[in-house]
């Protein structure tokens, strides 16, 4: 009996968002990265288009991450002292983007000045040819000061700046508008709050093509199912024509999985947790895999082995490089 | 797929005889559709209508059970493509495969290690469901010996894998009557497999790489009297299996296509590059539509995240796992012990309680009713604010247990400090760590009564 594979007739698609600008486009990048454009659910190539593969960004800090898991410190070694070398190694491991988090500018950390932070961004831009995502230290006043300085110093580069939240987005959006950058709109695992923030940001004049959605990522075992379902709901709404949801997803899978005890602690944990290194990498890779199934477009990861593995998983899911 | 009241009406005698207790056949049909009446109330319904209505009432994906209590695994009977539409009901059974060509000592070690494995998460004990035993030798006697050996080690369910019905028959003689799944009927052997499954009253897996052929096979096997079927669409790669499993789930739910309305079995190890890659493909199958997952490798470090993912995906989105609000004792706290407050999301509770216990500092843990939300989510939703915190302290009379008047807030809600101080006059409000993992250090080095 002939069986016809059921296909969905989606009416719409995700917007294409391009990070980075080449010299001809007003930046200095050797290559740009475009995400989005999906007209089907993840990897269902037989029913619609997925013109751009999901990409991986390596998370790099502007300070030595002394509170990170020992496994990460071991993996990056000396490079973790130098954001330029760290970014370059991340790219050498297969990362398509660099996600630079300016934690050193946090008043409770090193309290670096906005000018210093902007200088770090410029150094990393010089060291790699891939586009950059730049995240502030995560404290509203510091975020605003630092990201404005960064936006000015890198005018035209089409960085993705974040995180914009409903209580703190105006300054960052204004800086992105003035200097041809993108922003990441972060909302707490909720379809309506995500849409509302996108309205507020686009009302300031920033085109939707310059916004990424951070749905707030929960790690495996720590709220992953909430992120997973809110992403599926947003993506189905996007494919069904809801314009304010038609933006690519930005997911901090590395940050979330590596701050959990499973990935941070090797001693004094139940024997049933198994080998520390094997478990921690599996935690990050499986968190990323589940997010890919829900529609992740940009996955920010931390461990070099996870980066290599997730790139390979994406290749196979895209059907581009079969084993 | 359920029939509407009008569709049911067409199948009734339309005589309005009232013997069913309803004034008209239409009224009776409406009650049937609403599941408020039984078809047996109609004395005149035709056999044809009875069958049509029974078929319509059957779930689009058949519920298949393997094994016996207390280790029974039930899979299938799913009703949605996306968990947010309702929930996923029957989490996939996860099995470890051994082969009758392996040394008995190797098999014993593997089975003991995998099936005694248990990991605790949010108060639940998670583990593997059973063993798949493959007749890789092709020898029915060797197969039976291995099955007998493994049955002596565990009462958990088996998936018996052989190409030859005679080998399965030999294995069934020593399997112990624990309702194993027989794997697998193919175009080449389906008659023998169907006959054996029917005679033994056991569920049967059916394998073919082509969905049309697979549908033909299930229809033939069903006609031969076996209804508890499991599908193996034959795909093994991470992309191919996503496509096949999605197609099967959609055919069952959206097209109500009965010939493929059965749970699915997968073998992620056969398409994997190494053990972690096997776990990754298994993770995809947990998210996207497998009913039974057979692993070729067992490693606690890989099984723990996989079981955690299964728990996450199969949690009912409408009912987050919660604990009861109240004042909990961790260790044997006294009047000088610290008092902490957090929310009643069960993951929050178990994570915090675990760290407090691990610190060795006996403590009072006050749990507020945040409707099952974690600290940050509850705070954002207004379910964990200063008023709620003060109310919880009073409701469970925390003051009667302690001689000091100090309350430790989760670090993530440090912004509530001033408001809580206003609400709880006479109390000193402290800010604890943001992450539970930092609690032991806080209790040991920062906390002073």
- Look at residue B55 and tell me whether its pLDDT is greater than 80: no
Judge if B77 and B175 occupy the same domain. Answer: yes
Tokens 């006059």 correspond to: B425
pLDDT of residue B2: 60
At residue A251, the 3 state secondary structure works out as: strand
Instruction: Answer yes or no: is B36 within a domain.
Output: yes
Are B309 and B339 part of one and the same domain? no
Q: In chain A, what are the domains?
A: 28-318 (3.20.20.20)
- The nearest alpha carbon in chain A to B313 belongs to A225
Residues B200 and B128 in one domain: yes
Judge residue A197's burial from the number of C-beta atoms within 10 Å of its C-beta, 0-12 exposed, 13-18 middle, 19 or more buried: buried
On the question of pLDDT at B326 being above 70, the answer is yes
Give the Å distances, CA to CA, from B46 to A6, B12, B13, B51, B223.
Answer: 34, 8, 8, 9, 22
A320 — contact with chain B (CB < 8 Å)? no
- Find out whether A258 and A264 touch, Cβ atoms under 8 Å: yes
Does B233 lie in the same domain as B97? Answer: yes
Bridge partners of residue B206, in order along the sequence: B185, B231
Contact A220 B312 (CB under 8 A): yes
Chain B residues with CB inside 8 Å of A1's CB? 212, 215-216, 219, 259
Shared domain check, B180 and B86: yes
Q: How do residues A237-266 score in pLDDT, each as one tens digit? A: 999 999 999 999 999 999 999 988 899 999
A223/B374 touch (CB, cutoff 8 Å), yes or no: yes
Contact, A60 vs A128, CB < 8 A?
A: no
Q: What is the pLDDT of residue B41?
A: 87
Structural domain ending residue among the three candidates B255, B282, B313: B313
Distance between CA atoms of residues B262 and B230, nearest Å: 6
Share of chain B above pLDDT 90, in %: 78
Give the model's pLDDT for residue B264. 98
Cβ-defined contact of B283 to A225 (cutoff 8 Å): no
Whether ipTM tops 0.95, in short, is yes
- Enumerate the residues of chain A whose CB falls inside 8 A of the CB of residue B239: 43, 316-319
The CATH number for B34's domain is: 1.10.15.40
Among A2, A261, A316, whose Cβ lies nearest the Cβ of B437?
A261
Min distance B167 CA to chain A CA atoms (Å): 30
| Cβ-nearest to A274 among B214, B283, B300 | B300
Say if residue B105 is in the same domain as residue B243: yes
Mutate to test the interface with A, among B118, B288, B312 (most CBs of A within 10 A): B312
Average pLDDT over residues A8-33: 97
Instruction: Give the pLDDT confidence score for residue B37 in this predicted structure.
Output: 81
Same domain for B346 and B435, yes or no, is yes
> Among the three residues B41, B57, B73, which one is the final residue of a domain in this structure?
B57
Instruction: State the CATH number of the domain containing residue B247.
Output: 3.20.20.20
Q: Does residue B319 belong to any structural domain of this protein?
A: no
Total structural domains within chain B: 3
B120 and B262 within one domain: yes
| Together in a domain, B260 and B294 | yes
pLDDT tens digits for range A198-224: 999 999 999 999 999 999 999 999 889
The model's confidence at residue A278, banded by pLDDT at 50, 70 and 90, is: very high
Q: How far is A118 from chain B (nearest CA, A)?
A: 28
User: For residue B401, with 0-12 CB atoms within 10 Å meaning exposed, 13-18 middle and 19 or more buried, which class applies?
Assistant: middle
Say yes or no: B163 and B291 in one domain. yes
B70 plus B106 within the same structural domain: yes
The reply to whether B307 falls in a domain is yes
Name the residue facing B437 among A224, A264, A273 (closest C-beta).
A264
Query: What residues make up the domain containing B214?
Result: 64-313
Same domain, B83 and B52: no
Picking from A265, A261, A231, the residue whose alpha carbon sits closest to that of residue A245 is A231
Q: What is the pLDDT of residue B258?
A: 92
Give the domain-ending residue among B36, B57, B78: B57
């Amino acid at each position: 009996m002939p069986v016809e594979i059921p296909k969905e007739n989606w009416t719409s698609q995700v917007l294409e968002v391009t990070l980075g600008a080449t010299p001809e486009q007003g930046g200095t990048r050797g290559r740009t990265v475009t995400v989005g454009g999906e007209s089907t659910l993840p990897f269902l190539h037989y029913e619609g288009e997925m013109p751009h593969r999901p990409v991986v960004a390596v998370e790099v800090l502007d300070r030595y991450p002394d509170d990170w898991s020992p496994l990460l410190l071991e993996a990056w070694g000396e490079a973790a002292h130098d954001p330029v070398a760290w970014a370059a190694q991340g790219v050498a491991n297969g990362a398509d983007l660099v996600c630079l988090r300016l934690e050193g500018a946090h008043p409770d950390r090193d309290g670096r000045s906005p000018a210093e932070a902007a200088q770090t961004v410029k150094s990393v831009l010089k060291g790699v040819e891939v586009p950059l995502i730049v995240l502030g230290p995560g404290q509203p006043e510091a975020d605003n000061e630092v990201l404005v300085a960064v936006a000015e110093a890198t005018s035209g580069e089409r960085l993705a700046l974040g995180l914009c939240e409903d209580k703190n987005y105006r300054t960052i959006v204004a800086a992105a508008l003035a200097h041809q950058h993108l922003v990441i709109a972060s909302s707490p695992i909720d379809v309506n709050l995500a849409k509302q923030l996108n309205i507020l940001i686009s009302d300031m004049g920033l085109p939707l093509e310059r916004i990424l959605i951070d749905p707030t990522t929960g790690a495996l075992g720590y709220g992953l199912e909430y992120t997973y379902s809110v992403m599926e709901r947003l993506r189905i709404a996007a494919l069904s024509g809801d314009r304010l949801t038609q933006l690519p997803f930005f997911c901090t899978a590395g940050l979330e999985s590596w701050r959990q005890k499973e990935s941070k602690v090797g001693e004094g944990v139940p024997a049933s947790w198994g080998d520390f290194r094997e478990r921690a990498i599996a935690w990050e890779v499986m968190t990323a895999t589940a997010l890919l199934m829900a529609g992740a477009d940009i996955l920010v990861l931390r461990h070099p082995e996870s980066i290599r593995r997730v790139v390979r998983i994406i290749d196979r899911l895209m059907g581009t490089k079969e084993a | 797929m359920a029939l509407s009241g009008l569709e049911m009406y067409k199948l009734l005698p339309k005589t309005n005889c009232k013997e069913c207790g309803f004034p008209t056949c239409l009224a009776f049909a409406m009650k049937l559709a609403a599941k408020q009446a039984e078809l047996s109330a109609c004395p005149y319904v035709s056999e044809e209508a009875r069958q049509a209505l029974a078929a319509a009432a059957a779930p689009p994906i058949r519920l298949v059970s393997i094994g016996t209590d207390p280790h029974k695994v039930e899979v299938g009977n799913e009703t949605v493509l996306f968990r947010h539409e309702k929930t996923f009901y029957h989490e996939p059974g996860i099995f470890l495969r051994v082969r009758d060509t392996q040394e008995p000592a190797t098999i014993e070690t593997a089975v003991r290690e995998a099936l005694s494995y248990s990991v605790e998460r949010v108060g639940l004990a998670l583990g593997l469901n059973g063993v798949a035993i493959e007749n890789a030798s092709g020898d029915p006697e060797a197969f039976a010996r291995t099955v007998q050996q493994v049955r002596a080690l565990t009462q958990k369910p088996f998936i018996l894998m052989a190409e030859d019905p005679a080998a399965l028959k030999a294995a069934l003689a020593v399997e112990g009557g624990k309702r194993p799944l027989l794997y697998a009927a193919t175009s080449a052997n389906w008659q023998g497999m169907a006959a054996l499954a029917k005679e033994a009253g056991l569920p049967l897996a059916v394998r073919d790489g082509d969905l049309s052929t697979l549908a033909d096979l299930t229809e033939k096997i069903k006609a031969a009297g076996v209804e508890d079927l499991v599908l193996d669409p034959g795909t093994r790669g991470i992309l191919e299996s996503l496509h096949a499993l999605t197609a099967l789930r959609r055919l069952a739910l959206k097209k109500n296509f009965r010939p493929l309305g059965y749970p699915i079995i997968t073998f992620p190890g056969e398409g994997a590059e190494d053990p972690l890659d096997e776990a990754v493909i298994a993770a995809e199958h947990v998210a996207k539509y497998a009913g039974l997952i057979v692993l070729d490798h067992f490693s606690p470090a890989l099984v723990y995240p996989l079981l955690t993912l299964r728990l996450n995906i199969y949690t009912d989105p409408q009912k987050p796992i919660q604990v009861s609000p109240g004042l909990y004792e961790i260790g044997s706290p006294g009047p000088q012990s610290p008092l902490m407050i957090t929310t009643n999301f069960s993951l929050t509770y178990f994570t915090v309680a675990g760290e407090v216990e691990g610190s060795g500092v006996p403590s009072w843990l006050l749990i507020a009713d945040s409707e099952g939300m974690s600290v940050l989510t509850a705070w954002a939703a207004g379910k964990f604010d200063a008023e709620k915190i003060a109310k919880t302290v009073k409701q469970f009379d925390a003051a009667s247990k302690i001689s000091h008047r100090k309350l430790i807030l989760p670090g993530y809600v440090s912004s509530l400090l001033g408001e809580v101080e206003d609400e709880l006059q006479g109390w000193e409000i402290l800010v604890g760590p943001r992450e539970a993992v930092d609690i032991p250090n806080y209790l040991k080095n920062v906390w002073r009564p």
